[in-house]
A and B are shown apart, each in its own frame.
Chain A
């Protein structure tokens, strides 16, 4: 009884850890969806995107509160998920000679840790690229948009994606985000204790749809820049 009663032993079980991974994961999903909506402003032109970025920057201390919240969520999510995965790998040391495909096991569910690692690496690259990137000077001039005007964040993003290799890296990374979300959103309801058996297929469909929308939504930006730069050109 004393063992089950202590608070620290209650919150350190595998089930409790999974609950934390689920809740922090949901928080990160909300951020990703918000980020996606904000990014869509790039289609509205330099003023819209730069104005949005300035508005975010003007939040000042509140922005840092949000950032610290996100960092805390990310650290908890990644740390506990990595710990659980590492522990799970050690539970069957003798391998089966024959394995068969059974259950709903999707590619996404098998690759969670790997898509997660790619997303983490991408996160640092992405910060270095855009958050800390120089948003003034010749690097932000887009000749295609006419003139020699510096276009701030918009110009930085545009010129970054005009490099096909970099654009391809971004597209691969956001596909990993979509893949990660497609299993995450399908399974989070089991972890949080709300999924009935009859709703399993629906949860799968919703998760898959959100995963595809997120991947396509983010990928649409580099694809748009590549198309404008190399196919349609100046006139468009």
Chain B
């Protein structure tokens, strides 16, 4: 199969540091192979920029196989680009066509300060996880597999929630910059399993409080988060979080 190339115009958000005003820079991107991933396309542009003695575009990336949650930008208004259930690194340039202008912006939320260009600080997510605290598991020798039975359906639900890679696209797409889907997925992956039960009441309260403290908004049930999630985390997780919250309110103490 012959390689196909396309010519594009990129409008990229450039911002020197968190406290300075950002702006858009426009670059021509000529002869881009449609077999490249989006990040490889940015690599090519950065090589050109470096040759010209200019500052390359700063963007986050790590595994480039869609499982680490490091990459992510808003491409033409879509977090992680126009393809559903796909991280930016797994998006290929065949999804674009010659002559197209691509606007690339960072995930915008006040709780995710811009570090540089497209790189954001997602430390707020780490602090929400930390607020969740520990779970009770036996350490030492591996327990006998049948000693802690987990119903298949619950295991599946927990696993679906655990697919969240914490990329922050849900926050980026939410009109309220809410971290409800992320927080809910992390609560849901533990509350369905017996290992997560002893701390479930304390955990949901602490994580929701931390979510508020970090400056995320609340959920208006507009489902943008679900639509852009590269791991197809469902709003049903937010239902679970609210149910857990009600349960915690109703119980006294732990």
Contacts and interface: CB of A to CB of B under 8 A. Distances in A.
> What band does the interface of chain A fall in when counting residues whose beta carbon is under 8 Å from B?
35 or more
Interface string B7-24: 000010100000000101
A68 B148 CA distance: 52
Interface in B229-254: 234-236, 238-246, 248-249, 253
A9 B209 contact: yes
Interface residues of B, number: 57
Nearest to A18: B218
A87 B236 contact: no
Contact of B110 (A15, A93, A99): A93
A226 B222 CA distance: 38
A96 B108 contact: yes
Contacts of A10: 205, 248-249
Contacts of B236: 195-197, 200
Given A19-B242, A100-B76, A105 B109 contact: no
B217 interface: yes
A104 B211 CA distance: 24
A190 interface: yes
B35 interface: no
B144 to A, nearest CB: 33
A92 B109 contact: yes
A13 B179 CA distance: 13
A91 B110 contact: yes
Contacts, number: 149
A184 to B, nearest CB: 10
Contacts of A92: 108-110, 176-177, 217
Closest A-B pairs by Cβ, 4 of them: A193-B243, A100-B77, A187-B221, A88-B176
21 contacts: A13-B208, A14-B212, A14-B217, A16-B249, A19-B246, A87-B218, A88-B218, A91-B178, A91-B216, A94-B22, A97-B103, A99-B77, A102-B173, A103-B228, A105-B224, A109-B220, A183-B221, A186-B221, A190-B239, A191-B219, A196-B236
Interface of B: 11, 13, 22, 24, 74, 76-78, 82, 103, 105, 108-111, 114, 173, 175-178, 202, 205-206, 208-209, 211-212, 215-228, 234-236, 238-246, 248-249, 253
Given A103-B224, A183-B221, A193-B242, 7 more contacts: A17-B218, A88-B177, A91-B109, A91-B177, A100-B76, A102-B228, A109-B221
